Amino acid sequence: MNLPVRVLIVDDHPVVRDGLRALLGSTTDFEVVGEAAGGLAAIREARTHRPDVVIMDVHLPDLDGVEATRRLRRVVPESAVLVLSMLEDDDTVFAAMRAGACGYLVKGASQGDIEHAIQAVAAGGAFLGPQVARRILGLLTDPRRDEPPFPELTPREFEVLDLIATGLSNPQIATRLYISGKTVSNHVSNIFAKLQLPDRATAIVRAREAGLGHG
């Protein structure tokens, strides 16, 4: 007999948590091992219970679901994150997936989709709800889409530029990326040199014109 998938539910609305607990409790395939109403509590609960899957909302008090996902994936890498959110805009979806989420569902998804998604990410796969999958497919097949901006940058430099575009300072970027301030300064210098940028203000304008800075 297969062991049930151990699930941690993270949502700031008790009604949502109760609904998910009842849904998952209706089958022996799942076991709810904990709940959390905020991002920081989610990380603490994940450390304690080591769930197979964390169902994560995006809008959370104290720490949003995207940042909570990023931190959780660092401290409990064996726990897969499935985002369940009211939001289905491109920026939110891509931010969550970049942070390490393995799946994304929009609230209101059917019980079958939720169960399938949990099983999929618990097994090491990925799952996108129908609405999200259609949006991503449309983006990928849009002939108007060009190559990603700034191909001369390394992935880390691109990430730093994206955070610069959001208005973060070097110390804040260092904290967000878990790297030293000196490393951030080196990345910033490389970005300015490669893109021939005279100052930070110009970097922000250039990056935002290219669509960065929405995270």
3-state secondary structure of 167: coil
**Residues 177, 26: Cα–Cα separation, whole Å:** 40
Percent of the chain with pLDDT over 70: 93
| All domains in the chain, ordered by first residue | 5-141 (3.40.50.2300), 155-209 (1.10.10.10)
- Ranges assigned E (strand) in the chain: 5-10, 30-36, 53-56, 80-85, 103-106, 127-128
Give the pLDDT confidence of 145-193 residue by residue, as tens digits.
556 788 899 989 999 999 999 999 999 999 999 999 999 999 999 999 9
When pLDDT is cut at 50, 70 and 90, the band that residue 138 belongs to is low
For range 75-87, the mean pLDDT: 93
Q: Which of 81-85, 179-183, 207-211 has the lowest mean pLDDT?
A: 207-211
The vertex-207 CA angle with 206 and 211, nearest 5°, equals: 120
Q: Is the pLDDT score of 15 beyond 70?
A: yes
Predicted local distance difference test score (pLDDT) of residue 66: 92
Predicted local distance difference test score (pLDDT) of residue 130: 76
pTM above 0.85, yes or no: no
